[in-house]
Structure 1
Amino acid sequence: MATSDFTDKAALYRSAIPQAREGLIYLNHCAVSPVTDGVQQAVLEALELRRNSRIDRFERQLQVIAETRNMLATVTGSGNPDRVAFVQNTTVALNAVARGFPWKTGDEVLVADCEFSSNVYAWTNLKRHGVNTVFVPAPDGRVTPNRILNAITSRTRIVAVSAVQYVSGFRADIAAIGRICRERDLFLVVDGIQAAGALPQHASEWGADAYCGGAHKWLMGPQGIGYLCVSDRLHTMLEPTTPGWLSVPDPWDLYNFNQDEEATARRYEGGTYNTAGIFGLHAALSMLIDIDTARSEAHILKLGSRLMAGFANLGITAALPHSQPGSMSGTDSKTAATESGSGKQLNDSAGILVNTSNAYCQHSGISAFALSESANINETIQFYRNNGIFISVRSGMLRIAPHFWNTTDEIDKVIEITARMPRLSELFMTV
């Protein structure tokens, strides 16, 4: 796609976002995204099918469900729509894996100590079944292959990691972590809600056995609709945790209780679909595929780099200062390449792990800046809100998260407004 094509399409979709039309600067996609007019219209279409047509005719619904499943397989990089299940949200997807996995007493699951709580409670809840959750220390918000590697024991069965950390914005090297897992016959579970829709995802290529997410952040879809993508090997051993009438090959053979499980990932869905949510997600995915996630990523990272440079001029340092794509600063001094055969090399003097086989960048759509302990979080958020800027704070980090439809002018405005903030030098920590 030529640059002009991307710019034109981004402007077109921007015009369909109410917040943009109102002149607001919305940079909070890491929390909840706005929805376009098209998403709203799609949800209304689903409801209209209940109002004004024969209620027991489902051709259109089934078409949209199938198309949405296909698009999820594309956007997540899982590849096979038969291994995509609709669920309520990321939490439900993670729990479907946690509760359906064939654990043995004493098994371990690795989770970083900076993960969002949904990717923690799903695993710690297994303690009652004799499964232990081992926390991987990541005090700087970086979940690196080395840190994962050093935490693996003979009891490890699953590694659960976010593609992008929700506080720091750190983008994990899932490809390298996937190689580590495959070489040790471990299962990799990826929480992709902070990545899918903003960054190209390659779940199957990375070796992710489960890729979980929801629609309401970077996918720009409705709340209350999510997905679970599973690998073939996990699919053969994962037990459905909510079996229901849709979990069998012929749901309408209602009194045949001897049916086998449905062969596809539909076995994990169980009951009636959130059709309105799926219709809205269908519209959102159509937009993202049309705009091209790779082009979105380039634009988003450009905005992030511009923001960090502008904040740096104000004396504010990002949690993950921008470096060259293909490098990851702040990693351990011991390379995972030597032990995992991942094709990586380490520059010991610089402390930079360089991916020699495939360009890797630690940055995502989230730019995070540490607030001082004396900062009043509510006042900070309200200051931006009073100036028409929507951001969020999590765990003492100010998060600014633009998407493909945001502009450089908006980033410049944020920098300008921040420069006018009272007691600016006392508000942010220097790193």
Structure 2
Amino acid sequence: MRHMDLPGNPAAETDALLRAAFRDLGSTVYLDVAARGPLPFAARRAAEAMLLGQASGAVPKLEWFAMAERTRAKAARLLGVAPGDLAFTKNASEGLNIVAASLRLGRGDRIVIAPSVEHPNNVFPWLWQAEQAGAELHRVTPAPGEPLEDALAAALDGRTRLVAVTSMDFATGRRTDLRRIGTACRARDVFLLVDAAQSAGVLAEDLSGLPVDGWATAAQKGLLGLYGLGLLYVRRDRAEMMRPVHLARFSVELAEGHEAAGPDGGWRLRDGAGRFEVGNHNFVALAALEASLDLLLRLGPAEVERRSTAAAAALRAGIEALGLPVLPVPPAHRGHIVAVGEAIGSGHDTADLPWVNALGAHLRAAGVVHSVRRGVLRLSTHVHVLPEVAGRALDVIADWRGDRSG
């Protein structure tokens, strides 16, 4: 696969921008964004500058606060929401648990999930709510050929308070139709909470136009950031009805605005999602995220998704042409994850099938970074996977295929 553009072609200019942005990858073929994304050069430099400043005794806290709010505004622009509707968390799991606890679910309340498509981190919070709060947990298992969205919608009833769903199955790569399930939830006033760990930063998600009430993600995957930082979106009218479990200085508005002000002059919960923040942020991770958001916004969400999904489509087509099985996903539900294997299994980092393990070993030896989840070999892309990068991966797979055939 070779990529040819005439000089001055905008596509060629963007390709050059991306090669420079991900120069630290060198010759590595990185296809593991579903586990963690590569850190752009500018993000690395931003994090290093923060660390160097603190090492030399420079801790300009007010500047750090200003940087945090710039980053919040940029993330909000990427997602099509107001900055005040985004809270910083440690990761996607914390965001999901904040919503679980702040909704104050109890006896008679029904929670609907489909565990077979969810990461465990979007299952355990609901098991805990059922055990500790007495809520009823309804587990949905789609029938063969039944769309996930239809199975979830069919489970809604008058007692359902919440549906928790992934935006993309982390094993198969199937993209959830959030508008479809969200419309069903909105008709019954059911809170729709989305685990967006696999979609954020890669797929264009304009949350202002989607019937989604809560949305949680981490920074280290498609947002091209660091571990220890996440984003939580809560629709404003929903947030105003939720009561945080934890409270700290940054969760409230005070008459005096400084960081160490106390409650004597009166206080109230912050508007929007800000009420869910309880302390100082991970400023190093925020500096890296700001730089990565600058890159994503420069490209634009639609172009990021187009390039990422085109790279995944090229991988899927090439692998199928080599006669290897890829888990089927309807075209309308495809994204940036390609799962190579015969069926979902149980293996994590190792597959159930010997040939999948053999292919994985061959890829690793050739510098193709990937992962194995639920027994299938997972290849996941982002804007750094230019056509020549996908081509190198397919060449490695073809070499392995040829060795086996011979």
The yes-or-no answer on 1:239 pairing with 2:243 is yes
Aligned residues: 385
1:5 aligns with: 10
Instruction: Tell me the alpha carbon deviations over residues 71-111 of structure 1, each in whole angstroms, 9 at most, x when there is no partner.
Output: 1212223x111011000000000000001103230211111
Q: Could you tell me how far 1:51 is from its partner in structure 2?
A: 3.9
Q: Could you tell me how far 1:12 is from its partner in structure 2?
A: 2.1
Q: Could you tell me how far 1:188 is from its partner in structure 2?
A: 0.7
Matched residue type, 2:51 = L
Distance 1:157 1:255, change over 3 A: closer
Q: Could you tell me how far 1:145 is from its partner in structure 2?
A: 2.1
SS in 2 for 1:260: strand
The yes-or-no answer on 1:365 pairing with 2:336 is yes
Alignment of 1:405-416 (within 5 A): 405-416=384-395
Within 2, Cα distance between the matches of 1:192 and 1:6?
29
Distance 1:141 1:112, change over 3 A: farther
Within 1, Cα distance between the matches of 2:365 and 2:249?
50
Given that 1:214 and 1:226 are in contact with CA atoms closer than 8 Å, whether structure 2 keeps it comes out as yes
SS in 2 for 1:420: helix
Distance 1:262 1:204, change over 3 A: same
Counterpart among 115, 118, 130 of residue 118 in structure 2: 115
1:266 aligns with: 274
Within 2, Cα distance between the matches of 1:270 and 1:247?
6
Q: TM-score, structure 1 length as denominator?
A: 0.83
Distance 1:222 1:207, change over 3 A: same
Given that 2:325 and 2:342 are in contact with CA atoms closer than 8 Å, whether structure 1 keeps it comes out as no
2:253 aligns with: 249
Within 2, Cα distance between the matches of 1:409 and 1:35?
20
2:346 aligns with: none
Given that 2:168 and 2:176 are in contact with CA atoms closer than 8 Å, whether structure 1 keeps it comes out as yes
Alignment of 1:374-389 (within 5 A): 374-375=353-354, 378-389=357-368
Q: Could you tell me how far 1:299 is from its partner in structure 2?
A: 1.6
Alignment of 1:221-370 (within 5 A): 221-250=225-254, 251-254=259-262, 256=264, 258-321=266-329, 323=331, 361-370=332-341
Given that 1:14 and 1:20 are in contact with CA atoms closer than 8 Å, whether structure 2 keeps it comes out as no
Q: Could you tell me how far 1:216 is from its partner in structure 2?
A: 0.5
Counterpart among 122, 136, 139 of residue 140 in structure 2: 136
Within 2, Cα distance between the matches of 1:289 and 1:172?
24
Range with bigger deviation, 293-302 or 413-422: 413-422
Within 2, Cα distance between the matches of 1:207 and 1:115?
20
Structure 2 residue runs without a partner (length 5+)? 1-7, 344-351
Given that 1:301 and 1:365 are in contact with CA atoms closer than 8 Å, whether structure 2 keeps it comes out as yes
Distance 1:51 1:124, change over 3 A: same
Given that 2:103 and 2:243 are in contact with CA atoms closer than 8 Å, whether structure 1 keeps it comes out as yes
Counterpart among 169, 173, 184 of residue 165 in structure 1: 169
Matched residue type, 2:153 = L
1:89 aligns with: 91
1:44 aligns with: 48
Within 1, Cα distance between the matches of 2:34 and 2:172?
11
Matched residue type, 1:407 = L
Percentage identity across paired residues of the two chains: 26
Distance 1:54 1:46, change over 3 A: closer
Matched residue type, 1:117 = P
Q: Could you tell me how far 1:52 is from its partner in structure 2?
A: 4.2
Within 1, Cα distance between the matches of 2:327 and 2:24?
28
Q: Could you tell me how far 1:18 is from its partner in structure 2?
A: 4.7
Q: Which has the higher helix share?
A: 2
Within 2, Cα distance between the matches of 1:140 and 1:46?
51
Given that 1:371 and 1:398 are in contact with CA atoms closer than 8 Å, whether structure 2 keeps it comes out as no
Within 2, Cα distance between the matches of 1:405 and 1:108?
42
Structure 1 residue runs without a partner (length 5+)? 324-360, 427-431
Q: Could you tell me how far 1:182 is from its partner in structure 2?
A: 0.7
Within 1, Cα distance between the matches of 2:250 and 2:306?
40
Within 1, Cα distance between the matches of 2:328 and 2:87?
34
SS in 1 for 2:123: helix
Matched residue type, 2:376 = M
Counterpart among 52, 62, 80 of residue 82 in structure 2: 80
Q: Could you tell me how far 1:54 is from its partner in structure 2?
A: 5.1
